[in-house]
Chain A
Amino acid sequence: MKKKLSVLRFLLYLPVLFLGRNQLAAQQSGVDSATLSRINALEQEVADQKPGESHFMVAGLATMGFVSNSTNTITGGIGQKVKTNSMADADHYEFSPMFLWRHGKNLLLEFEPSFDGYGLGVNWADVSYFAAPGLIVRAGYFVLPFGTYNKRLAAGWIDKVAGDPVGLADLPPSSDFGVEIEGGLPMGNMKFNYDVSVTNGMQMQSDGELQGIGIVDNNKNKTITARVGWLPFQNSCLEIGLSGMFGKVGDAGTEWENVKTDMYAADLNFVKTLNPFLVNIKGQYNYIHVGDAQFVNPDDMSAYTFKNTTKTGFAQISLRPTGSNDNFVKNLEFAFRYGNFTTPGASLWAAKTNSWDFGLDYWLSWRTVLKFTYENMKTDNTVPASLNTVKSNSMFLQFSTEF
């Protein structure tokens, strides 16, 4: 009888026990999950701050495509046509992984090797120290603060048309060795930014032309490059920038060792939604002057001189119908760019080039684009020994992505 009573009592207590246990478990699980999520958040914060190799990442870009070109060289009224098709034209293929290594919140190491039609090169390899609000100190091999095209707009997944503006991306050369300070500062409703570098500088050849690639530190002098940017509106829709680059370019120990260059650039960037379009206007103008000197004509080694001034620039507008309700239309972007490149009129490489680019882009994602660009380019070579006009038409189909 007693046994039966005990079993009955046990059966009666069983639901109570379960209920109590469940309540306790729920209570415990409630406390545990809140604590655990807090711990996770704290761990994440600590991980974000923690210096060391844990903050290594790889990003970068890949650009590839096809270009069909027809060039007509007209000499003395007689034209000669050449047609080419290329899958990896030197200016329109690029694979550039970017290695970023962050130590805590103050130190960033950046390295971007790049493979293109010219071979394997390095876009930048530098160390940045975020010293104070509005002050970043950088050393190494970095993009010069001359205009904004090379530093901000040259990447294939950012550029609205297939190629670089004629003459602008390589003159002056985009990167150099040195130290740099830069920063962005608020100014009421406005903002301004500054970027100043001291680098080895440009190198002039004996015929007066500035070296484009393979530059060596040819003298003791260092070149100062500086840019100041001003964003007058609180919504940052407009930025106007002015740059200057000053330094000696002649080889030490030669008659040109005191030849200086002074270069100036003006850049403009306007981005605003004017329904139904996102309007994007960009432009840059470079004025490159090398001091007067007696240069050497490599053809006959005679001395000659000329006003050594090169001008190059571009103006670009693109429209993206972001206000459209149609997803396909929304991802389209129309672009037009005009470019000009004028080399010194009396030099051995005197020429004037105008280019017109018409682009139709389709954005597959925010960082992946399929571009179709038609480019018309006309170059008047004005060197007396080789007077001619070169007319070129190119069609590009290009895919570019950031990863």
Chain B
Amino acid sequence: MKSIKHISKITAVIIMGCIISGIAILNGCKASQLVQAKSGAQLWAENCQRCHNTPSPSSFSHEQWETIGMHMQSRALLTDDERDKIVTFLKQAN
């Protein structure tokens, strides 16, 4: 009974993974045109404040924003497009 219970948990995790992968594959892991059209400023406003206040572009240098962008991508699990656009915006506005 215990092993069945254990298998069912693992199965549940696998099924969940398959469903998410399936949805991702069906969508081709592509952003919609609406999302693709978003500017770096809009993505900066939407994503940074999910955890903290939106940072001032003048807080770091161009080079540092590249590094911070990588660090934050791994923390907030941003998409690559989001990271690139946000970092470009921060560098331009700096």
Q: Are B51 and A237 in contact (CB under 8 A)?
A: no
Are the CB atoms of A108 and B70 closer together than 8 Å? yes
List of B residues within 8 angstroms of A77 by Cβ: none
Once A102-B66, A188-B27 are accepted as A-B contacts, the answer to whether A367 and B81 lie under 8 Å apart by CB is: no
Which listed segment binds B: A132-140, A203-211, A301-309, A348-356? A132-140
**Cβ–Cβ contact A48 & B62, under 8 A:** yes
Report the minimum CB–CB distance from B36 to chain A (whole Å).
8
A128 is an interface residue with CB less than 8 A from chain B: yes
Contacts of A57 in B (CB 8 A): 60, 63-64, 67
A59 interface residue (CB < 8 Å to B): yes
Question: Could you say which residues of chain A place their CB within 8 Å of the CB of B63?
Answer: 44, 47-48, 54-55, 57
Would A367 and B34 count as touching, CB distance under 8 A? no
| Number of A-B residue pairs at CB separation under 8 A | 125
A interface bracket (residues with beta carbon within 8 Å of B) = 35 or more
Q: List 29 A-B contacts (CB under 8 A).
A: A44-B63, A47-B63, A57-B67, A59-B71, A100-B71, A102-B67, A102-B70, A105-B70, A108-B71, A133-B79, A134-B80, A157-B52, A183-B77, A184-B73, A184-B78, A185-B79, A186-B30, A188-B30, A188-B35, A189-B35, A191-B79, A192-B23, A193-B77, A236-B47, A236-B50, A246-B10, A262-B9, A271-B50, A366-B59
**Residues in A lying within 8 Å of B, measured CB to CB:** 44, 47-48, 54-55, 57, 59, 100, 102, 105, 108, 110, 128, 130, 133-134, 136, 138, 151-153, 157-158, 182-189, 191-195, 226, 228-229, 234-237, 239, 242, 244, 246, 262, 269, 271, 278, 363, 365-367
